[in-house]
Structure formats: C-alpha cells, structure tokens
Amino acid sequence: MSERIVIIGGTAGIGLAAAKHFEKDGHRVVIAGRDAQRLAAALEQLGSTAEGRTVDAGSPESLAELFAAVGEFDHLVVTVAPHGGAGPVADLQREQLRALTDGKLAAHLLAVQAALPTLRADGSITLVGAVTAHLGMAGTAALAAANGGVEAASRALAAELGPRRVNAVSPGVVDTDWWDWLPTEAREGALAQTAAALPVGRIGRPEDVAHAIAFLVENTYTTGISLIVDGGARLQRG
C-alpha cells in the first residue's frame, strides 16, 4: 500500500537517500528543508509524485505552516543535523552549544509536536541522531549530549504517543555533505582513516541509513528502539 511520508531534512544526504528508497518502494514522499535551491535540486532527483516544501525546523511557526500545507500523512522522518559542536569542552562557546541544541534536539521535538495534528493515529516517527551518543569519544561532548537527547526523547515519545510508533536511528560516519566544512584533503584523509579502522572496512553511505529508516517505518511491531548503523565503530571502543 502506498503511504505518504514527510522527511524533514530530505533535501540531501541521509534524508534524500531515504526519500529515494521510499519512492522505490512505491510510497509518496514530501521532502522539506531550509534552502529552496537545494530543495529544487533534490526534487529533480525524485519522481513526479514527490512534493517539496521549505521549512525552518527551528521555528514552530514554520513547522506549523508546513504541516498545515501537507495535510494528513502516514509517517514522519526527521534527519536534520547542524554543523559544529565538535572540539574540547574547554573551547566550546555558549553560542555553539545553543546552535547545536536548537538545530538538533529542539528541532526534532518541535517537528514531532507540529506533526501530531495531521499524523496518522497509528503512523510512525523516526528520528535520526548519531553514534556519538554511544561512543564516549573525547572532543564530542556537545554532539553526544545533543544526539543522546534525541535518542532518549524517542523512547519517552514511544511511551507517550502510542499507538504511534517512535524510533531512532543512530548512524556512524557517513559520507554526506555534512563533512563539507572540512577542506577536501582533510575530509578525504579523515574518512579514509575511519574506514581503515572499521570492521566493515568502509565508510557508511546514505543508502545504508536509509535502509535502517525504512525498516523502522515499515515494521509495525517495533517502537522505542535506537537502531545503530555504524559499521562496527562501537566495537573499536571496547
């Protein structure tokens, strides 16, 4: 059965890969993002039934407008991932912490809140955090807090919002434009070094995470879990 799926952060990376995956399975997707040009470029990669909307995921008003325009739908996926926040805790600025919290944890919760009036009563919500919530890695305290908050919230929401299902996906290092803040040489070096250390021997692809998201959306007996898709990164911390 064809279902309607809203993906906030669906204009690139993991979100766009999820949109393509759902379309391939015969579903109708609505992708939403802040940048109108990226939205237009993403829609060119999708089929004729795909819809696109601009949204500021940090604005309750913008989110309310999005869901009012979308109307009734079956599943919500939130993949927003702001840049910044890595580094020694001694060097973190309050503005960085606020931007990370607003752009990650608050954006996910605000999206869920705004979606409730039009989300199907037995539909699903899938939030995307990151494996930094689990690794205990030096220099990632702020990222771990924000992503850990998303995962903890997903479990509380699963208990609160049933029969709607709420789950989280926790990706490891995935080759997306999130890494574009690094110079090309530094980016390639960092990804190659990470790949060499992983049991699977490669960096994650957006499609790897899209498969995990699709599983959680489609499995109607799964709620309140965090599905880790990290190529075995946690094993290297043992």
How far are the Cα atoms of 13, 114, 194 from residue 108, in angstroms, in the given order? 17, 10, 28
Is the pLDDT at 238 greater than 60? The verdict is: no
Say yes or no to pLDDT of 79 above 60. yes
Tens digits of residue pLDDT in 108-117: 999 999 999 9
| Burial (CB count within 10 angstroms: exposed 0-12, middle 13-18, buried 19+), residue 51 | middle
pLDDT for 57 equals 96
Can you give the pLDDT at residue 181? 65
Q: How far is CA 128 from CA 51, 67, 71, 79, in A?
A: 21, 19, 23, 5
What is the percentage of the chain residues whose pLDDT exceeds 70?
97
Query: What is residue 32's three-state secondary structure?
Result: strand
Residue 31: helix, strand or coil by DSSP?
Answer: strand
Q: Which domains does the chain have, with CATH numbers?
A: 4-237 (3.40.50.720)
Q: Which residues contact 55 (CB under 8 A, 6 or more apart)?
A: 8, 32, 33, 34, 62, 63, 65, 66
**Whether the predicted pLDDT of 213 surpasses 70:** yes
Query: Is the model's pLDDT at 139 over the cut of 60?
Result: yes
Give mean pLDDT, residues 187-191: 80
Host H or E run for residue 126: strand 119-128
Q: Which residues neighbour 115 within 8 Å (Cβ) at sequence distance 6 or greater?
A: 6, 63, 67, 76, 125
At residue 141, what is the residue type?
A: A
What is the per-residue pLDDT for 62?
A: 98
What is the pLDDT at residue 46? 98
Tens-place pLDDT, residues 18-70: 999 999 999 999 999 999 999 999 999 999 999 999 999 999 999 999 999 99
pLDDT value, residue 8: 99
Mean of pLDDT over the chain = 93
